[in-house]
Amino acid sequence: MHTNKIWLSAPHLGGNEQKYIQEAFDSNWIAPVGAHIDCFEHDLETYLGSGHVAALNSGTAAIHLGLILLGVQAGDTVLCQSMTFSASANPILYQGAIPIFIDSEPETWNLCPMALEEAIIDRMAKGATPKAIIAVHLYGVPYKIDEVRTVADKYSIPILEDSAEALGSSYMSRKCGTFGDIGVFSFNGSKIITTSGGGAIITNSAALKNRAIFLATQAKDDAPHYQHSEIGYNYRMSNICAGIGRGQMEVLGHHIGLKRAMHDFYAELFKDIKGVTVFEVPNANFFANYWLSTILIHPSETNGITREVLRLALEAANIESRPLWKPMHLQPIFCNYPYYGNTIAETLFDTGLCLPSGCNLSEEDRSRIKSVILKLFRK
Ligand SMILES: *Cc1c(COP(=O)(O)O)cnc(C)c1O
């Protein structure tokens, strides 16, 4: 038994993070204000090439504020990709709104444009046009940007682009996060860069960015005392976390290279193994950061080896892997809300597995992973 665990995706530090944190301490700017926040936002804006970024304390907070900025209120309906992490959908409930879940398409595993349109038409027939569409770039693979946008524009419904897993991914050379009416990033511990915990919202106007910051800092009116005319939130990023973010931005490009190298490693490893497909972008217009490398296992072609058999074999060797996101419409908390589509998301969940994808996996780690997989499939 190997003692050191191979994680799915562990944080990976660049080197300058501690320097920036020290600067924050030295200047006593350890609150959710300070130069690092401004610099981190600026770094993100420069990297993304367009938009106005507000740094927040989580991706979930960013999605919640995004819904508020799009005017989602109690009783409204919001369309949401079913196959995703629960944080994409929970903020709909925070607003007292009603989630309506949509199936995936098999090429990018993201929002199916046909099921999306079917849902919109049906909801309109039932009397209400949905207020927003939450589209996700799962595992860093961009959703079908053009097709989803066409449907959204046809019915004038704004897109909240959940880019939590896709910092550094792009479609036709334009960065993910900049396609939605509002975009969202996460810098949680397992994401491609981390601020220990954090997120950001990106909008196309400075006024909206300022509005996001206003709401994220308790919605204080312009008065010498604390006065409030609106519901405020405590969602701003701290200057300490932003310092970590500045250091991480310096190594983002490097991380993407390492993630993509892990993806290449799996593509090579599985290329001669029947019944296993490594998830890939559909064509060269799509560029994925491959935040996590994922596979589908078709047990009819693998002598009955299922994703669970592989997961347990890896676990026995102290290697972490995880089934794909369990679709929201199958979750106990969400299963009573409407769902449109077929069983694509469900089948992906049943047959898919996320493999160790950390930026810091060594050659030795890779050989350990490889030997478990080859032993299982070459029996
Ligand atoms: C991580 C993640 C979030 C939430 O971000 P946090 O920073 O953890 O709050 C939202 N959506 C998706 C798809 C994610 O993977």
pLDDT of the chain, 379 residues: tens digit per residue: 556 999 998 878 877 888 888 888 888 777 777 899 999 999 999 999 999 999 999 999 999 999 999 999 999 999 999 999 999 999 999 999 999 999 999 999 999 999 999 999 999 999 999 999 999 999 999 999 999 999 999 999 999 999 999 999 999 999 999 999 999 999 999 899 999 999 999 999 999 999 999 999 999 999 999 999 999 999 999 999 999 999 999 999 999 999 999 999 999 999 999 999 999 999 999 999 999 999 999 999 999 999 999 999 999 999 999 999 999 999 999 999 999 999 999 999 999 999 999 988 999 999 999 999 999 998 6
Distances from the Cα of 339 to the Cαs of 37, 83, 101, 116, in angstroms? 39, 11, 5, 10
- pLDDT at position 1, please? 53
305 CA → ligand 1 middle, Å? 31
Q: Is any atom of ligand 1 closer than 6 Å to the C-beta of 103?
A: no
Say how far apart CA 61 and CA 236 lie, in whole Å: 9
CB-CB contact of 163 with 135 (8 Å): no
Say how far apart CA 294 and CA 298 lie, in whole Å: 13
Distances from the Cα of 375 to the Cαs of 139, 170, 369, 372, in angstroms? 27, 36, 10, 5
Q: Is any atom of ligand 1 closer than 6 Å to the C-beta of 59?
A: yes
Mapped onto helix, strand or coil, the DSSP state of residue 8 is coil
Residue 344, H or E segment? helix 344-351
Residue 183 CB burial class (10 angstroms; 0-12, 13-18, ≥19): buried
In testing the pocket of ligand 1, which one of 165, 190, 195 has its CB within 8 Å of the most ligand atoms?
165
Residue 137 alpha carbon, nearest atom of ligand 1 = 13
Nearest CA to ligand 1 atom 14: 164
Q: Is any atom of ligand 1 closer than 6 Å to the C-beta of 57?
A: no
Q: Is any atom of ligand 1 closer than 6 Å to the C-beta of 188?
A: yes
Task: Kindly compute the dihedral angle of the four CA atoms of residues 108, 268, 296, 163, in this order, to the nearest 10 degrees.
Answer: -30
Q: Is any atom of ligand 1 closer than 6 Å to the C-beta of 91?
A: no
Mapped onto helix, strand or coil, the DSSP state of residue 31 is coil
Residue 136 alpha carbon, nearest atom of ligand 1 = 13
Whole-model pTM: value is 0.96
Domains identified in the chain and CATH numbers: 17-251 (3.40.640.10), 253-377 (3.90.1150.10)
Say how far apart CA 373 and CA 232 lie, in whole Å: 50
Say how far apart CA 194 and CA 89 lie, in whole Å: 22
Mapped onto helix, strand or coil, the DSSP state of residue 16 is coil
CA-closest candidate to residue 134, choices 55, 74, 206, 62: 62
